[in-house]
Structure 1
Amino acid sequence: MTGNFAPDAPSAPDAPVTFRPPSQTGAPLLEEVRQWFATYICTMTEADLDLLTLWAVHTHVATETYTTPRLLIDSPVPGSGKTTVLEHLSRLCLNAVQMASLSSPALLVRMLDVGMRTILIDEADRSLNPAKEGIAELYAVLNTGYKKGGSRPVLVPVKGGSWEAQEMSTFSPVAMAGNAPQLPDDTRERVIRVLLLPDVLGVVQESDWELIDDPAKELGARIVAWTDEVRDFIRANRPPLPEIVKGRARERWSPLMRVATAAGGRWPEAVRQLAIHDVERIQLEREEGIVQEKPAIALLQHTINIWPEEKNFISTASLIDRLIQNHPKTWGAESAFGKPLTAQRLGKMLVTSFNVHSIRPDREGPRGYSKVSFEKVWRGMGITRAGSDDPLKVTGASGATGASGAETAQLEIPDPLVIPEPIAAFVCTICRSETAFTLQKTDAGMACRKCHGANR
């Protein structure tokens, strides 16, 4: 086993083995790496130096951390030192390679299949422009390679002069530098960001590689030595993160927390604060309109906010009017779509994203939507009314007390009671269509009004 620490004896034959932390923590080494970055890099905040340090070190144990967050080195203006950061990372990270030196994504995948590399991408605002020809293949590599086991099929020659597809690994740490690059959503949600500023006050030193190349590589070698010592500890331990750090955010920050826990000292708390700030920043940007939610998700939140609590059905026209009136920049003529929301566009979003269909309660009345059809989606997506911290209190199909749909379906409905308001989604026992309105009890069970009339 690698490392200078021993496993604790299991309390039972089948109990998992856990590892004691190394007696010598890596906190002093991480502080030294941080000071190295502080000497040559001007960041927006001091915490960004912690982030650079942890990310550089984690590349040496990415296999043990299972996921590897993409690092975005961002700045508001050119000349802030983004390329300089990549130069330092190339000496401190695991087997770094500049993407500019590779001829194609296929070559990158072949290289990664041989062994782990840290990919460094400069001028990401141009080299990763979504409109660039052939960029989809590179994004596929970047997005699949953030988690251990990620792979892409690559054509390889076989005997007889033919070709066959072979799955090759794409798992690798990636650092991207650019001026606010326009990354796709699925790439951005895997990213943690460091923000640089121009050194207008002259507080950082110039990176004169003729003088500092050897010291940088020596520091990199010490990182290798320490990560080799704690590799098994990092693999065996999954320290907790704050409760609000969930889902994709947890995948971003868990690798750095594992490194920080192995190092000890102030570093675990530093990661906790970085992760909380990251989650809160994304939420604030979403609230301020900087980060745009997908239209279908915004539609869910807006519908629950504008839906009249006492109504179990709302016509399509009324729903659209309410959406436009309350959110004109999203659904009105001012929207990015360039024209007001239409019934066709509304229906397409609801059907394709959530399988919510419009209905016509009255044969001669308007089409619209039942609250029943929205409630399961609201619950499943964790959507609540604005200003409420409580889970969705269901009305209509599940009753004012939040009873489940299954409980509602078991309610006794005396014959020949007609239910004037939609209170549940039932399946007609005759035509098998789902309905949420004007149900009548027959000998065969619950029937829609059409079938009930035909079978009198």
Structure 2
Amino acid sequence: MIYFQGADMHNKEAVQLAISSAQKPKETQTEVITRLASLSALEYDRVRDHEAKALGVRVSVLDKEISLTRQVTPQSFDMFPTIQPWENPVDGAELLTEIYNTIKRFIVCDDKTVVATTLWIAFTWFIDNVQVAPLAVITAPEKRCGKSQLLDLIGRLSRRPLVASNISPSAVYRVIEAQSPTLLIDEADAFLRDNEEIRGILNSGHTRQSAYVIRVVGEDYEPQQFSTWGAKAISGIGTLADTLMDRSIVLELRRKLKHENVERLRHADKWLFKRLASKLARYADDNGLAIESSRPILPEELNDRAQDNWEPLLAIADYVGGEWPQRARDAALGISGIEHDSASLSTELLMDIKEIFDTKGCSRMSTADLIDELTADDMKPWATYNKGKPITPRQLAKRLGEFGIKPQTIRMSGRTPKGFMLDAFQDAFKRYIPSDDSSHLSATPQHDSNNLCIEPVSNVADYSRDNT
């Protein structure tokens, strides 16, 4: 406290004036836009000319930016429910069990899905303490399986939930930058499948270190960084793009049978979810630093990406203790274990080629023979790969080129068609085919002979035109 006495009194007014006129910390451009978007129409109209001049942009550009921001942040200060942390310390194991039982009351699904959903909900409250943010992908083979119901339930218990259907790419990163929500995207199968831009944005938010996109803004196209870090749950029929599924905890649902009775979520006591959310808020406040420093033991049966996805969930399960560490690992193996890995189309091609070489006992095979073998099974995609027609030599070479495997001229009984040597596949087999399937690979096939897999002359002529 400052005291003014005697001759110093005449300086009092000067000091007060200096204090009152001290500059406030300069707002960032994002903070200015967020502040202006929160104003009423009349308030914004009074200041728009001055603010546009201060930002160095035309008023029309500022109006457009404010309109876009208001579309993704309506009533920005009231858009999230107010959650007061529970007044007393919370037992973590008991809290997770309460959430688990609540999910069982309203949703028909397997136990592993209930466990994973419980842990993912808890994870949203520790988003500031973890380094990986796995997507929660709610999927089912058909409609009326409870996908939207589960997404609704997750939203009632998650930190800062924001529901968005058919969201645009720019809305994703703008709302995350402005509000840091738990983003809940419904009906993803209707708009996400062919939207590469939004897939790239969602992919970028998987790890904290890489959770940014760069976009140009304003009349001068100034580069600006936007955060994409945050918890995100996506609901839709079927599977999403491989890159999204690879970053996900998959929550599979099924249509309930007549004897499977659950309560209707819309009739649930609202206090039930407010009470659980309040306990989650308190538990996160008390234990955030402990979760941040946790390094759980990750099951070796999970691949590297699956280990990343499950790390924050296992950290929570290990910390709360009780039966949750084991339940969490059982769920992880049941949902994301190697035997549940869905191979990409290129990996599926490798697996099918390996099976052909194993069956034929060859050390080499012409392109024509390989395609004949691949397309012999109507249940596999290669017979109709080319818009309903068999995969072509050029398409085969392009797929295999992803693994560094290229067709070459091979010698077979005095002829030299284009084809592939088994040795060229060995490295890819070991790296990309699950170890259980590739453990018996050897550099030399059991029945190595130049006389095996001989290509008919007519087929050589047909396929040589592609020169692959």
Q: Confirm or deny: 8 A CA contact 1:330 1:336 kept in the other structure.
A: no
Q: Which amino acid aligns with 1:147?
A: T
Q: Does 1:367 align with 2:418?
A: yes
Q: Confirm or deny: 8 A CA contact 1:65 1:235 kept in the other structure.
A: yes
Q: Which amino acid aligns with 2:136?
A: L
Match of 2:351 in 1: 301
Q: Confirm or deny: 8 A CA contact 2:291 2:315 kept in the other structure.
A: yes
Tell me how far apart the structure 1 counterparts of residues 419 and 169 of structure 2 sit (CA, whole Å).
48
* 1:235 alignment partner, one of 266, 269, 292: 292
Match of 1:148 in 2: 208
Tell me how far apart the structure 1 counterparts of residues 351 and 145 of structure 2 sit (CA, whole Å).
39
Q: Confirm or deny: 8 A CA contact 1:302 1:323 kept in the other structure.
A: yes
Tell me how far apart the structure 2 counterparts of residues 185 and 343 of structure 1 sit (CA, whole Å).
25
CA shift, 1:185, in A, is 1.4
CA shift, 1:196, in A, is 5.0
CA shift, 1:272, in A, is 0.7
* 1:269 alignment partner, one of 326, 329, 352: 326
Tell me how far apart the structure 2 counterparts of residues 66 and 343 of structure 1 sit (CA, whole Å).
43
Q: Does 1:187 align with 2:209?
A: no
Q: Does 1:83 align with 2:143?
A: no
Q: Confirm or deny: 8 A CA contact 2:409 2:416 kept in the other structure.
A: no
Q: Which amino acid aligns with 1:317?
A: A
Q: Confirm or deny: 8 A CA contact 1:42 1:198 kept in the other structure.
A: no
CA shift, 1:393, in A, is 1.6
Q: Confirm or deny: 8 A CA contact 1:124 1:181 kept in the other structure.
A: no
Match of 2:171 in 1: 107
Tell me how far apart the structure 1 counterparts of residues 149 and 319 of structure 2 sit (CA, whole Å).
28
CA shift, 1:107, in A, is 3.1
Q: Confirm or deny: 8 A CA contact 1:314 1:370 kept in the other structure.
A: yes
Tell me how far apart the structure 2 counterparts of residues 79 and 372 of structure 1 sit (CA, whole Å).
49
CA shift, 1:165, in A, is 1.9
The verdict on how the C-alpha distance between 1:318 and 1:72 changes in structure 2, with shifts beyond 3 A counting, is closer
Q: Confirm or deny: 8 A CA contact 1:249 1:279 kept in the other structure.
A: yes
Counterparts of residues 227-376 of structure 1 (less than 5 Å):
227-280=284-337, 283=339, 293-307=343-357, 311-325=362-376, 327-330=377-380, 333=383, 337-361=387-411, 365-376=416-427
Q: Which amino acid aligns with 2:439?
A: D
Q: Confirm or deny: 8 A CA contact 2:113 2:252 kept in the other structure.
A: yes
Secondary structure of 2:235's counterpart equals strand
Give the paired residue count.
357
Match of 1:416 in 2: none
Tell me how far apart the structure 1 counterparts of residues 189 and 128 of structure 2 sit (CA, whole Å).
29
Unmatched segments (≥5 aa) in structure 2: 1-88, 451-468
1:44-101 superposed Cα distances (whole Å, 9 cap, x missing partner): 223332222111111011232311222223345544443333333223111111114x
The verdict on how the C-alpha distance between 1:260 and 1:315 changes in structure 2, with shifts beyond 3 A counting, is same
The verdict on how the C-alpha distance between 1:320 and 1:51 changes in structure 2, with shifts beyond 3 A counting, is closer
Secondary structure of 1:393's counterpart equals coil
Q: Which amino acid aligns with 2:169?
A: P
The verdict on how the C-alpha distance between 1:226 and 1:155 changes in structure 2, with shifts beyond 3 A counting, is same
Q: Does 1:175 align with 2:263?
A: no
CA shift, 1:208, in A, is 4.5
Unmatched segments (≥5 aa) in structure 1: 1-22, 401-419, 422-456
Q: Does 1:123 align with 2:179?
A: no
1:138-193 superposed Cα distances (whole Å, 9 cap, x missing partner): 22222211221311113333xxx423121211011111233x24521111222221
Q: Confirm or deny: 8 A CA contact 2:173 2:228 kept in the other structure.
A: yes
Q: Does 1:207 align with 2:273?
A: no
Q: Which deviates the most, 366-375 or 185-194?
A: 366-375
* 2:101 alignment partner, one of 35, 43, 60: 35
Tell me how far apart the structure 2 counterparts of residues 375 and 77 of structure 1 sit (CA, whole Å).
39
Match of 1:393 in 2: 442
Secondary structure of 1:239's counterpart equals coil
Q: Confirm or deny: 8 A CA contact 2:205 2:229 kept in the other structure.
A: yes
Tell me how far apart the structure 2 counterparts of residues 108 and 188 of structure 1 sit (CA, whole Å).
18
Counterparts of residues 16-27 of structure 1 (less than 5 Å):
25-27=91-93
CA shift, 1:375, in A, is 2.6
Q: Confirm or deny: 8 A CA contact 1:122 1:177 kept in the other structure.
A: yes
Q: Which deviates the most, 233-242 or 367-376?
A: 367-376
Secondary structure of 2:380's counterpart equals helix
Where is the helix percentage greater, Structure 1 or Structure 2? 2
Tell me how far apart the structure 2 counterparts of residues 379 and 80 of structure 1 sit (CA, whole Å).
38
Tell me how far apart the structure 1 counterparts of residues 169 and 331 of structure 2 sit (CA, whole Å).
32
RMSD of aligned residue pairs (Cα, Å): 3.3
Q: TM-score, normalised by structure 1?
A: 0.68
Q: Which amino acid aligns with 2:421?
A: S
Q: Which deviates the most, 216-225 or 63-72?
A: 63-72
